[in-house]
């Protein structure tokens, strides 16, 4: 079977002017944003190589790391299951759902769930899965798969989303992106509050602590892991990091590569279900670790693909993806590939067999832009060549030895070339014959055009083979000894550059927070209640969702202070355990006395941060005892946001649209 449908899909995509405009806009903004984001990371290259080494160490000793990770996760109180394939993963999910009589599943973004076709299985079993990421929700309403790992609806224009919401949600037609976003927020808020199960993916699992790390921008990842009584996480078995220091490294690379951010808005760190005395959180957490071909991929020549951290940078950089989009990548039978782009052209045949998906590797110019963009330095061009050579698993433990996705005439030509190249005398004669033959095709020019049936060659001007090849001319050359050359003088040693000027942590934090769209109000301990009351009075707010620290500060305020999750509260007040100066981020923890939903449910989040709790960067905070002991914690970097519709930034999605930090210079530790 030939990839006829694949070629037809390519032609259709290229002819779609709206799709071309959408893909061009995404690629330009993502690539330029990535360059700008990494400009603030001068040791980017060294971090990239460290990340590669860490991921390589993990997949080389994967079973050992998995065993230790599972032991720690179970010790934290999370139930762990291993699924050999998609069927096993779906059955485990359905068994958990059945034990709770679940009907509604609120889903955060998970490529593993797309890989195993979870939504179709849940619907067939009578459950209602609802995607809650804005882009995923849009494509679910359209009955489509995501067209990009990070921006699922990148192929759509605003008028298409407006028409979709008018048809499916019954709102008046509009192309106003904030209105469309707010509509989705209102619809999905009810899903979050009534869901029986919250389902998420896992960006990283930390072996040392059993931490599940989930990064999102909209807040839906926090919603599905905080509000429903049961949380189920799906994780590819390779998504492990040894310790929290390594997590800090990867969190400096993933958001910059994926969305051009120093940190995603919400970095969730989950350790356990709700504990005795906790005011919120799922009563049960389940982790399903999925193989689904990864063990087979690990033992093949494509194992380096398992280093992937699903940032999508290679898709944005790829000239082929820019032309055909994610929906252009299909199997021989026309079914969509589970993963698109350069990495998808390796992972799809690696997980599901070269016979069905091996032809995808032909959709590459091998220019190397994908490897250059990859934050963990995966040799994607080399892997694509291996897929072309038939090194992808065939669906069993064996790998094919036949090249895939190549027309029969070209295969025959390559075999003839291989036989000739192994015989020097024959190869030399054929070179001379090619030189003579080219004179017949192009007698008056040094360039020639191949016949139309060659396809690619017909559209290119190719140099005419010479009559006397280089191998023959080399023997006649009189050249000097290669050892007779003048060595270059070593570069002069310059004096050490003066150390860069440093900004105080306070000033740096304020600057970074404002760049994220947050607001910072420095005040003293005595001024704190008055400052908060003034902010609430301006907004007409008399009810406040608060944690223990906030309740103590406002005990005499006369406000109605709510201590349990309440979606009707328009503002929430929390204490921030720490602040990160280099990203303008806050660390907020859950547990007894804390209330993570106060920083999530309201439209305005007020956070109290002690200046003495400011730290230079994320590594200084992750290894603290308060993070390790909390059932859940979140690093918050600005108000919630999305750019899922035409790459247009919209503030305020599922989480607060307003973040105000009260920076207190004498706030005591509570």
pLDDT digit string, tens, across residues 295-336: 999 999 999 999 999 999 999 999 999 999 999 999 999 999
Answer yes or no: is 30 within a domain.
yes
Q: What is the mean pLDDT of the chain?
A: 91
In a domain, 593, yes or no: yes
Specify the pLDDT at position 494: 44
For residue 428, tell me if it sits in a domain: no
CA gap 168, 18 in Å, rounded: 22
The Cα 655–Cα 649 span in angstroms is 15
Instruction: Using pLDDT thresholds of 50, 70 and 90, give the confidence band for residue 456.
Output: low
What's the CA gap between 263 and 272, in Å, rounded? 23
**Which pair of structure tokens corresponds to residue 557?**
């305020």
Q: What pTM was estimated for this model as a whole?
A: 0.89
The pLDDT > 70 percentage for the chain reads 91
Domain count, the chain: 3
pLDDT, residue 481, reads: 45
pLDDT value for 331: 95
Say if residue 248 is in the same domain as residue 152. Answer: yes
The reply to whether 83 falls in a domain is yes
Distance of CA 351 to the CA centre of its chain: 19
The domain boundary residue, chosen from 383, 408, 433: 408
β pairing state of 284-290 and 447-448: unpaired
375 CB-contact burial (10 Å; exposed 0-12 / middle 13-18 / buried 19+):
buried
Give strand ranges (E) for 469-584: 519-523, 543-546, 560-562, 571-575, 578-580
Q: What is the CATH number of the domain that holds 8?
A: 1.10.1060
Q: If residue 385 lies in a helix (H) or strand (E), which one and from where to where?
A: helix 380-388
- Domain shared by 48 and 196, yes or no: yes
Together in a domain, 518 and 618: yes
Range scoring the smallest mean pLDDT among 35-39, 128-132, 162-166, 243-247: 35-39
- Note the pLDDT of residue 457: 65
Q: What is the pLDDT of residue 127?
A: 98
Residue 446 belongs to a domain? no
pLDDT of residue 502: 37
Last residue of a domain, one of 268, 290, 312: 290
Percent of the chain with pLDDT over 90: 79
The dihedral region occupied by 219, where left means phi > 0, alpha psi between -120 and 50, and beta the remainder, is left
**Residue that terminates a domain, selected from 290, 310, 331:** 290
Residue 210 domain-assigned (yes or no): yes
In the predicted structure, residue 397 carries a pLDDT above the cut 70? no
pLDDT of residue 446: 82
Instruction: Work out the average pLDDT over 522-550.
Output: 95
| CB contact at 8 A, 630 and 589 | yes
Report whether pLDDT(537) > 60. Answer: yes
Is residue 97 domain-shared with residue 229, that is, in the same domain?
A: yes
Q: DSSP state, 597?
A: G
Tokens linked to 583: 């990203």
pLDDT digits (tens, 9 = 90+) for 96-132: 999 999 999 999 999 999 999 999 999 999 999 999 9
Domain residues for the domain of 390 are 1-39+300-396+398-408
3-state class (DSSP) for residue 206: strand
What is the CATH classification number for the domain harbouring 629?
Answer: 3.40.50.10420
| 386 & 526 share domain | no
Q: What mean pLDDT do residues 78-95 have?
A: 98
In a 3-state reduction of DSSP, which class is residue 6?
Answer: helix
Token pair in block for residue 203: 């960006």
The per-residue pLDDT for 426 is 86
Residues 94 and 122 in one domain: yes
| CA dist., res. 261 & res. 259, Å (int) | 6
* 285 plus 307 within the same structural domain: no
More confident call, 593 vs 286: 286
Residue 57 lies in a domain: yes
Q: Are residues 12 and 83 in the same domain?
A: no
Task: Give the model's pLDDT for residue 498.
Answer: 43
Based on the domain organization, do 30 and 51 belong to the same domain? no
Mean pLDDT of the 546-572 span = 94
Q: How far apart are CA 435 and CA 463, in angstroms?
A: 11
The pLDDT confidence band at residue 393, using thresholds 50, 70 and 90, is confident
Of the pLDDT bands very low, low, confident and very high (cuts 50, 70, 90), residue 585 is very high
Residue 95 inside a domain? The answer is: yes
Dump pLDDT digits (tens) for 460-498. Answer: 777 888 877 777 777 666 554 444 444 445 445 444 444
Ramachandran class of 390: left when φ > 0, alpha when ψ lies in -120 to 50, beta otherwise: left
Task: Give me the pLDDT at residue 335, please.
Answer: 93
388 vs 398: CA distance, rounded Å: 16
The neighbouring-strand residues paired with 463 are: 447
pLDDT value at position 546? 96
Task: Check residue 167 and give its pLDDT.
Answer: 98
What pLDDT is recorded for position 557?
Answer: 87
Long-range contacts of 396-404 (CB under 8 A, 24+ apart): 396/296, 397/296, 397/299, 399/300, 399/301, 399/354, 400/354, 400/355, 400/358, 404/349, 404/354, 404/355, 404/358, 404/359, 404/361
Question: Does the pLDDT at position 499 exceed 70?
Answer: no
- The candidate with the shortest Cα–Cα distance to 262, out of 223, 316, 215, 202, is 215
Residue 500 has a pLDDT of 37
* Whether 27 and 54 share a structural domain: no
Same domain, yes or no: 104 and 19:
no
249 with 317, same domain?
A: no
Range 593-596, long-range pairs (CB < 8 A, 24+ positions): 593/547, 593/548, 593/549, 594/279, 594/547, 594/548, 594/630, 595/279, 595/280, 595/545, 595/546, 595/547, 595/548, 595/563, 595/564, 595/565, 596/222, 596/226, 596/280, 596/281, 596/632, 596/634
């Amino acid at each position: 079977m030939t990839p006829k449908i694949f070629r037809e899909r390519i032609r259709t995509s290229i002819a779609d002017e709206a799709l071309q405009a959408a893909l061009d806009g995404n690629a330009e903004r993502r690539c330029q944003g990535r360059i700008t984001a990494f400009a603030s990371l001068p040791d980017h290259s060294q971090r990239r190589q460290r990340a590669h080494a860490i991921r390589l160490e993990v997949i080389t000793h994967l079973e050992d790391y998995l065993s230790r990770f599972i032991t720690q996760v179970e010790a934290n109180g999370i139930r762990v299951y291993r699924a050999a394939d998609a069927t096993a993963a779906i059955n485990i999910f359905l068994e958990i759902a059945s034990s709770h009589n679940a009907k509604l599943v609120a889903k955060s973004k998970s490529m593993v769930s797309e890989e195993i076709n979870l939504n179709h299985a849940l619907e067939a079993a009578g459950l209602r899965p609802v995607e809650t990421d804005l882009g995923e929700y849009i494509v679910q309403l359209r009955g489509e798969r995501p067209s990009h790992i990070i921006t699922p609806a990148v192929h759509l224009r605003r008028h298409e989303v407006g028409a979709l919401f008018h048809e499916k949600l019954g709102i008046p037609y509009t192309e106003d992106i904030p209105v469309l976003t707010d509509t989705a927020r209102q619809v999905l808020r009810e899903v979050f509050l009534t869901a029986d199960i919250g389902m998420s993916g896992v960006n990283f699992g930390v072996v040392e602590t059993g931490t599940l790390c989930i990064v999102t921008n909209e807040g839906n990842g926090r919603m599905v892991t905080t509000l429903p009584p049961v949380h189920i996480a799906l994780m590819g078995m390779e998504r492990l990091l040894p310790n929290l220091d390594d997590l800090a490294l990867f969190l400096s690379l993933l958001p910059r590569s994926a969305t051009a951010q120093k940190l995603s808005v919400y970095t969730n760190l989950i350790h356990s279900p709700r504990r005795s005395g906790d005011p919120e959180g799922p009563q049960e957490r389940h982790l399903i670790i999925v193989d689904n071909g990864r063990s087979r991929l690990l033992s093949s020549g494509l194992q380096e693909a398992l280093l992937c951290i699903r940032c999508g940078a290679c898709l944005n950089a790829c000239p082929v993806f820019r032309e055909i989009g994610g929906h252009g990548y299909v199997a021989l039978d026309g079914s969509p590939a589970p993963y698109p782009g350069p990495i998808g052209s390796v992972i799809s045949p690696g997980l599901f067999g070269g016979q069905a998906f091996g032809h995808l590797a032909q959709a590459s110019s091998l220019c190397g832009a994908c490897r250059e963009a990859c934050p963990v330095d995966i040799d994607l061009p080399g892997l694509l060549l291996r897929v072309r050579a038939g090194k992808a698993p065939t669906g069993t433990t064996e790998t094919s030895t036949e090249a895939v996705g190549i027309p029969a005439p070209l295969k025959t030509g390559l075999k003839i070339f291989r036989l000739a190249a192994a015989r020097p005398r024959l190869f030399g004669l054929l070179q001379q014959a090619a030189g003579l033959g080219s004179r017949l095709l192009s007698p008056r020019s040094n360039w020639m055009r191949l016949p139309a049936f060659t396809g690619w060659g017909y559209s290119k001007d190719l140099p005419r083979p010479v009559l006397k090849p280089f191998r023959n001319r080399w023997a006649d050359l009189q050249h000097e000894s290669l050892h007779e050359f003048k060595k270059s003088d070593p570069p002069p040693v310059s004096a050490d550059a003066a150390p860069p000027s440093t900004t105080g942590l306070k000033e740096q934090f304020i600057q970074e927070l404002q760049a994220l769209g947050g607001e910072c109000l420095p005040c003293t301990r005595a001024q704190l209640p008055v400052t908060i009351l003034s902010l609430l009075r301006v907004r007409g707010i008399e009810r406040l969702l608060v944690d223990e620290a906030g309740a103590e500060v406002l005990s005499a305020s006369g406000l109605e202070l709510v201590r349990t999750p309440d979606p009707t509260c328009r503002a929430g007040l929390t204490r921030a355990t720490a602040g990160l100066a280099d990203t303008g981020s806050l660390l907020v923890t859950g547990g007894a006395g804390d209330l993570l939903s106060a920083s999530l449910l309201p439209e305005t989040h007020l956070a109290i941060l002690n200046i003495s709790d400011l730290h230079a960067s994320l590594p200084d905070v992750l290894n603290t005892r308060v993070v390790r002991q909390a059932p859940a914690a979140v690093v918050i970097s600005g108000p919630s946001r999305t750019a899922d519709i035409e790459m247009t930034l919209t503030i305020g999605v599922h989480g607060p649209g307003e973040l105000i930090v009260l920076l207190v210079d004498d706030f005591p530790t509570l």
